[in-house]
Amino acid sequence: MTKTRFRTGSLKQAAKEHTLRLIACIAFLLMASPVFAQGVQQTKGDFQDKFRQLDEVLPDPNVYRNASGAPGHQYWQQKADYRINAQLDEDKRRITAQATISYTNNSPDTLPWIWMQLDQNIFRRDSIAETTRTFGGSSSNGVGVSGARFNDPARLSLGQIRRQQSLVDNNYGYEIGSVRLSNGTALKYTIVGTLMRIDLPTQLAPGRTVSFKIDWAYNIVEEDAVRARSGYEHFPDDPRPGGNDIFLLAQWFPRLVAYSDYEGWHNKEFLGSGEFTLEFGDYDVTMTVPDDHIVSSTGVLANPAEVLTATQRQRLRTASTANAPVFIVTPEEAEANERTGPNGTKSWRFTAQNVRDFAWASSRKFAWDAQGHRQPGAKNSTVMAMSFWPKEGGELWRKYSTAAIVHTMKVYSRFSFDYPYPTAQSVNGPVGGMEYPMITFNGPRTTLNEDGTRTYSLSEKVFLIGVVIHEVGHIYFPMTVNSDERQWTWMDEGINSFLDSVAGYEWDPDMPWTRSLPRDLIPYMTSNQQVPIMTQSDSVLNLGPNAYGKPSAAFHILRDTVIGRERFDFALKEYARRWKYKRPTPADFFRTIEEASGTDLDWFWRGWFYTTDHVDISLDTIHRLRIDTANPDIDLPRRRQELTGEPAKVGVELNRQQGLPIWVLENPGITDFYDQNDQFTVTPKDSKKYDSFLESLDEPWMRQAFDRAVAEDANYYVLSFSNKGGLVMPIILGLTFADGSTEKMNIPAEIWRRNSRQVRKLLVFPKGKELTQVVVDPDWETADADIANNHYPRQIIPSRIEAFKSPDRNSRVGRDLMAESQGAQE
């Protein structure tokens, strides 16, 4: 910026200009100060517009999705209904099944074929997922590679070896028996990895339905061996001969690939990280299992009299109105059950309406409890919250699983809608955490001690409560708000991680929850192993922090810092309401949050979701300024006082310490006027100039405004900030004053709109209110990466001295093998 100067002319004119600048903008006067002479201009050609609108990035609104982020007037989506009969062969660990599928084309397009998902084919040795699996590094997804590093390529864990052995010893993937129309006409099909195209003899016109049948079978993977999202777990130490299994069945049937207005067929190969994009429909599923098994499933049990005892049915009725979980199958009954074998089979039939997937679990090891959660006025006024677990779950599951389900529904419904289905279930098995409509798989367990008791650590408690909240939360997002998990993991995992952290802190704020608050994401956001959030799921380097943690941190910042809780909660609820049972895209989310909150957030979406910038705002300097009164009797003594505050000249101070004589003090006869007065002495000319200045204020408002400014004698501070991380964010200030009082100030992010690298801010406080300290982001709410440059004055950063000795060399070359072989060393 250039200095502001007085124009030449009369004293009266100059005085007017002086006063006008004082009144119009006090900063205009201050710009004449050397503080502002230090330019903050952009270097030519390097301008960065952090507030550039996203219109050029987001798809154009249309009749299917409008500019406000809501479904358009001609929004449509397909429908897929399934009637399935499945048989579980426990000994062979194999599923055989038959399905009749009805597919309704609600699109305006005529379809010559349909695509199906064959997710089990991911475990074929020749699948794209398997043949492109890399060893070590972030792309391994933690599958059995313990400690492997790119610079240590020969390090292989037993877990990885076990996985390779399982793939060699078993034939995994779908075995398709037949595909035919309901009238028996065979349909031509082509399998492409985890996809299958079915060619229709007659193109499917808009508004028409085609029904066809598929027979299939597959061998169930051992989840602990291959690290899948479903599978079986074997318990060889159970007293029953041959042991027992828990079966978690998901991605177990051929499912329709989604067909949408914005992509057509979503026929992207299943590679593992990108989950599922599915169509809603109605299900009628019968599962035939050993007759001593308990089955948990998506849907409502349609034949309880055929599979449950009279006692179990009565317990269910009691549980529906209970205020605490009631056992349907007690732990003692489950332990007794797992000691014996089946006498035959039972067929459990479940029905589910308007769901996008179907999963189930089966085992003789399950204890089962339930509690009715009431939602007055909702479509499902009572939701049955239920948990299924083996003895290995112990007291941990009895205390917390079903309670966490109920808590989740209470919290999530505030931010979205009433829980939409009649049941919500948590099942313990080999899968650490996975979600499907009305059913979730959750892994934490107790530890068996030598005395036969079972205990659990605090981390297992936190894990169980947290994973139940998270997975049941997924029944809202994306099982009901049906975002595309295959493409945009953050749309379900990020929103859900944000809400599960809200629910977690409402459960118990003192528990050590992790990964979802802004401060938790600083190490990731400053690392070189990251990609933008808006990266396709299978291409993300670090899925946890990128798809879960960073979006969650962003939503916390939006809610607590940028928008405010009331408006953000309203906007998120509107998004959930608009897209309940529908298929939103990122653009729909961005536009809805902006439209409902009344906030332009393109700068936020661009920075947080499209870049790998991080937050680091530095408070570089603070200058204190004081307004000149133009009165020499006031201003000149002030300047004298300012001068006395400077340190003494080094040479003069050393002379004093040596006791050297001062000439004028030794020879008083030579002193004159200037020895009694200095440059700050008020002269008649100064006084006359001041009187002339006051006379020049010839309009009443001028004198009134000037006198008020002089009387108030406010404190003016110029704060200089630099953006070192690249992400523009609100500047949150913690202010401490000399009188001991404190204040918090929120400067909106728009302060960076003209210069995203450096900004200065003028703060004005009344007389007597003097700043002693300023801290940027005092409550760590914006994920500011470097707190060392947040303080002014700078602070000494506390750390600690750790006493240690260098570790002994463990190399066999460096060890004394001669002494060891003679028993001299242990």
The three state secondary structure string of 409-468 is HHHHHHHCCCCCCCEEEEEECCCCEEEECCEEEECCCCEECCCCCEECCHHHHHHHHHHH
For residue 7, what are the CA distances in angstroms to 4, 15, 222, 691?
10, 11, 86, 21
Structural tokens at position 16: 């007017």
What percent of the chain shows pLDDT beyond 90?
74
pLDDT at 12 over 50: no
d(CA 401, CA 727): 40
pLDDT above 60 for 31:
no
- Comparing CA positions, the residue from 517, 603, 601 lying closest to residue 567 is 601
pLDDT given for residue 39 in this prediction:
42
In the chain, % of residues over pLDDT 70: 89
pLDDT of 19 above 60: no
pLDDT digits (tens, 9 = 90+) for 551-577: 999 999 999 999 999 999 999 999 999
**Measured distance CA(323)–CA(301) in Å, rounded:** 22
Residue 673 has pLDDT above 90, yes or no: no
Structure tokens of 307?
């599979």
pLDDT in tens, 200-256: 999 999 999 999 999 999 999 999 999 899 999 999 999 999 999 999 999 999 999
What is d(CA 462, CA 470) in angstroms, rounded to the nearest whole number? Answer: 12
Distances (CA, A) of 38 to 25, 35, 721: 20, 6, 13
What was the pLDDT predicted at 814? Answer: 63
CA distance 765 to 704: 20
Residue 764 phi, psi dihedral angles, 5° rounding: -120, 130
| pLDDT value, residue 29 | 38
Nearest to 171 by CA among 236, 233, 126: 126
* Lowest mean per-residue pLDDT among 42-46, 54-58, 392-396, 757-761: 42-46
Task: For residues 659 and 322, give the distance between their C-alpha atoms in angstroms, rounded to a whole number.
Answer: 93
In the prediction, which pLDDT does 663 show? 87
The CA distance from 347 to 87, in Å, is 9
Q: Who has greater pLDDT, 8 or 444?
A: 444
Sheet (strand 433-436) strand order:
326-329, 367-374, 382-389, 423-428, 439-442, 433-436
Residue 770 CA to residue 734 CA, distance in Å, equals 14
> Contact at 8 Å (CB) between 549 and 783?
no
Q: Give the Å distances, CA to CA, from 221 to 72, 228, 248, 288, 432.
A: 43, 8, 10, 19, 15
Provide the pLDDT for residue 27.
41
Task: Write down the pLDDT at residue 154.
Answer: 65
> The tokens of 593 are what?
């949050």
348-391 pLDDT per residue, tens = 999 999 999 999 999 999 999 999 999 999 999 999 999 999 99
Q: Quick one: pLDDT at residue 448?
A: 93
Q: What is the pLDDT of residue 4?
A: 35
The pLDDT, as a whole number, for residue 26 is 44
Confidence of residue 796 (pLDDT cuts 50, 70, 90): confident
User: H/E element holding 621?
Assistant: strand 617-625
More confident residue, 303 or 796: 303
Q: How far apart are CA 780 and CA 785, in angstroms?
A: 9
| Interatomic CA distance for residues 498 and 509, integer angstroms | 15
CA distance 671 to 826: 91
Q: What is the pLDDT of residue 153?
A: 60
The reported pLDDT for the residue numbered 346 is: 98
Q: How far apart are CA 359 and CA 230, in angstroms?
A: 9
> What are the percentages of helix, strand and coil residues in the chain, rounded to 5?
35, 25, 40
pLDDT at 809: 61
3-state class (DSSP) for residue 784 = strand
**Preceding peptide of 478 cis, ω within 30°:** yes
Q: Is the pLDDT of residue 142 over 50?
A: no
Tell me the longest C-alpha to C-alpha distance in the chain.
129
Partners of 82 in the β-ladder: 101, 283
pLDDT over 90 (residue 63): yes
513 touches 594 (CB < 8 A):
no
Q: What is the pLDDT of residue 155?
A: 75
Q: How far is CA 669 from CA 665, 675, 753, in A?
A: 9, 11, 66
**H helix intervals, 66-186:** 128-131, 158-169
Indicate the average pLDDT of the chain.
Answer: 90
- Parallel/antiparallel/unpaired status of strands 423-428 and 439-442: parallel
Dihedral pair phi/psi, residue 162, rounded to 5°? -60, -40
CB neighbours (10 Å) of residue 668? 8
Query: Is-contact 97 85, C-beta < 8 A?
Result: yes
627 confidence band (pLDDT: 50, 70, 90): confident
pLDDT of res. 23: 44
**485 is written with which tokens?**
């998990």
Do the Cβ atoms of 112 and 200 come closer than 8 Å? yes
Task: Tell me the CA distances in angstroms from 423 to 202, 303, 330, 666, one per residue in order.
Answer: 40, 16, 20, 101
